[in-house]
């Protein structure tokens, strides 16, 4: 069974995860559910992290970003090599490294404009701003060269070109992991991933019945409030929020401000610009006299309510058609926030839905996103369709990812 490495640095931008797992091809031609073996996590070097944070705000020149792209690739290579050392494996033992890279910018599709301009030229799909696009760094040529492992990256652009949202990408792993249950029933499985942005997936063995979309903020506003008010990267264990009281007037304002995002039906995607630092700073300024604990508690509840809204409006009705839903399997960095998980459990219990960690189904919650990229990379290397058109809005099935061959496979 091939060894696969997956790397992830998501919208939370709180570190890079590297996972080792095994996957093979099942009797139905699809990948088997990945088996987790080991993982490591590394922080971004301070100087590189600072440059990327500037890039998020469009304050990094194209010359600087070019060098940062290569440096990020070198960092990904270092982490990959460190995981090999930890596990005693060699580059020749690894089938493929899969990662998407660090998202710098992402622009969702303007579906109304896409429908109005169906006679536009291929170039006009992007010059008029209707089709989605994005920029994702960590140069794959650097990773493949410095690890001597074939690398697959950039999983979103093909989906974008086919009119898909390109985000989230968790749905393919969910299809692979949950398409069959022990009793062989065609049931649906709901998953929630909480990174910087949170996303919900409804997985099913029939990919035409699946859903996947962003619910709104995950950790992004919580982390920003913590950086500004506490000089901390995040709310460890949700301890700050646990000491606060939700400000109902602020929560109402947050929900009102986000009505434009919430009004968009799936497939939909968000990026840091939707709930990022500029917006968060305006909220902090308007509520400058309020206690930090109350502010953090409120944006933590905002994430929970956003998930609840998405579940009730979109997922539960579809799940009812597929036999019902009693639980949501949760992964991502947000699972470490005890207060957020408590808020979620309380909100979803009112709809008869329990919350459990993906660890219970063999996918460590902290590393599921990296396992996702390992799975996408495995499929791409074999030419398997690894998108879910019904979930992203893409026009057809396709192979997502760009492959860079390892130097060692070159025929001289």
- What are the Cα distances from residue 83, in Å, to 6, 7, 22, 87, 294? 11, 11, 14, 6, 40
* 325: CATH: 3.30.420.40
Structure tokens at 186: 């065609």
- pLDDT bin (cut points 50, 70, 90) of residue 370 is very high
Picking from 119-133, 219-233, 249-263, 379-393, which range would have the lowest pLDDT averaged per residue? 119-133
Q: Using the structure block, give the residue that is written with the tokens 């091809």.
A: 25
Pairing verdict, β 211-217 and 197-203: antiparallel
- Looking at residue 92, the DSSP 8-state letter turns out to be G
Mean pLDDT on 225-236: 95
Tell if the pTM clears 0.75, that is, is over it: yes
User: Is residue 160 pLDDT above 90, yes or no?
Assistant: yes
Domain co-membership, 203 together with 303: yes
- Give the three-class secondary structure for 105: strand
Q: What percent of the chain has a predicted confidence (pLDDT) above 70? A: 97
Domain co-membership, 226 together with 294: yes
- List residues bridging with 356 in a β-sheet: 329
User: Is residue 182 pLDDT above 70, yes or no?
Assistant: no
User: Is residue 185 pLDDT above 60, yes or no?
Assistant: no
User: Is residue 289 pLDDT above 60, yes or no?
Assistant: yes
Spatial contact of 344 and 61, defined as CB atoms under 8 Å apart: no
Beta-strand ranges (E) seen in 296-353 are 327-331
The residues, any chain, with a CB within 8 Å of residue 243's CB and separated by 6 or more, are 293, 297
- pLDDT bin (cut points 50, 70, 90) of residue 183 is very low
Domain co-membership, 209 together with 346: yes
User: Is residue 184 pLDDT above 60, yes or no?
Assistant: no
**Confidence at residue 181, expressed as pLDDT on a 0 to 100 scale:** 63
Question: Domain residues for 160?
Answer: 3-169+367-409
Mean pLDDT on 282-289: 96
Domain co-membership, 252 together with 337: yes
Q: Give the phi and the psi of residue 187 in degrees, each rounded to 5.
A: -90, 165
- pLDDT bin (cut points 50, 70, 90) of residue 15 is confident
Domain co-membership, 129 together with 210: no
- Count of beta carbons in the 10 Å neighbourhood of residue 40: 17
Domain co-membership, 400 together with 273: no
- Give the three-class secondary structure for 319: helix
Domain co-membership, 276 together with 310: yes
- Give the three-class secondary structure for 73: helix
- Give the three-class secondary structure for 37: strand
Structure tokens at 22: 């095994």
- What are the Cα distances from residue 108, in Å, to 14, 30, 134, 334? 23, 29, 9, 23
Domain co-membership, 398 together with 348: no
State how many domains the chain has: 2
Domain co-membership, 402 together with 339: no
Mean pLDDT on 38-63: 94
Domain co-membership, 155 together with 259: no
User: H-helix or E-strand containing 235?
Assistant: none
Q: Give the phi and the psi of residue 351 in degrees, each rounded to 5.
A: -110, 15
Domain co-membership, 223 together with 290: yes
User: Is residue 214 pLDDT above 60, yes or no?
Assistant: yes
Domain co-membership, 57 together with 110: yes
- Give the three-class secondary structure for 98: strand
User: Is residue 271 pLDDT above 90, yes or no?
Assistant: no
From the list 18, 331, 372, 310, the residue with the least C-alpha distance to 171 is 372
């Amino acid at each position: 069974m091939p060894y696969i490495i997956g790397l992830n640095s998501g919208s939370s931008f709180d570190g890079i995860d590297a996972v080792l797992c095994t996957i093979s091809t099942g009797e139905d031609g699809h990948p088997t559910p990945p088996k987790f073996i080991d993982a490591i996590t590394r922080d971004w070097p301070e100087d590189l992290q600072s440059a990327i944070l500037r890039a998020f705000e469009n304050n990094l020149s194209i010359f600087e970003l070019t060098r940062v792209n290569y440096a990020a690739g070198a960092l990904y290579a270092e982490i990959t090599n460190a995981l090999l050392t930890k596990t005693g494996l060699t580059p020749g033992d690894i089938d493929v490294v899969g990662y998407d890279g660090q998202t710098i910018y992402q622009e969702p599709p303007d579906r109304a404009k896409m429908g109005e301009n169906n006679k536009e030229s291929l170039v006009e799909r992007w010059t008029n701003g209707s089709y989605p696009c994005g920029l994702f760094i960590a140069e794959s040529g650097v990773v493949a060269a410095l690890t001597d492992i074939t690398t697959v990256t950039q999983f979103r652009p093909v989906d974008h070109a086919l009119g898909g949202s390109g985000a989230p990408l968790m749905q393919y792993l969910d299809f692979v992991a949950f398409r069959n249950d022990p009793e062989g029933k065609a049931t649906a499985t709901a998953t929630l991933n909480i990174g910087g942005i949170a996303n919900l997936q409804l997985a099913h063995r029939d990919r035409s019945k699946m859903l996947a979309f962003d619910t709104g903020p995950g950790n992004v506003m919580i982390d920003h409030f913590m950086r500004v008010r506490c000089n901390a990267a995040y709310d460890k264990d949700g301890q700050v929020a646990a000491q606060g009281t939700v400000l109902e007037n602020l929560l109402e304002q947050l929900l009102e401000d986000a009505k434009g995002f919430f009004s968009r039906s799936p497939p939909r995607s968000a990026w840091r610009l939707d709930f990022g630092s500029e917006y968060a700073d305006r909220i902090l300024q308007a509520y400058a006299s309020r206690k930090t604990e109350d502010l953090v508690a409120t944006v933590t509840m905002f994430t929970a309510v956003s998930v609840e809204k998405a579940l009730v409006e979109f997922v539960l009705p579809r799940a009812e058609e597929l036999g019902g839903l009693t639980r949501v399997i949760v992964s991502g960095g947000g699972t470490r926030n005890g207060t957020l998980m408590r808020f979620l459990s309380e909100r979803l219990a009112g709809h008869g839905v329990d919350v459990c960690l993906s660890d219970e189904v063999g996918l460590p919650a902290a590393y599921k996103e990296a396992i996702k990229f390992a799975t996408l990379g495995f499929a791409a290397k074999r030419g398997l369709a690894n998108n879910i058109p019904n979930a992203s809005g893409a026009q057809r099935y396709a192979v997502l990812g760009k492959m860079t061959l390892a130097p060692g496979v070159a025929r001289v």
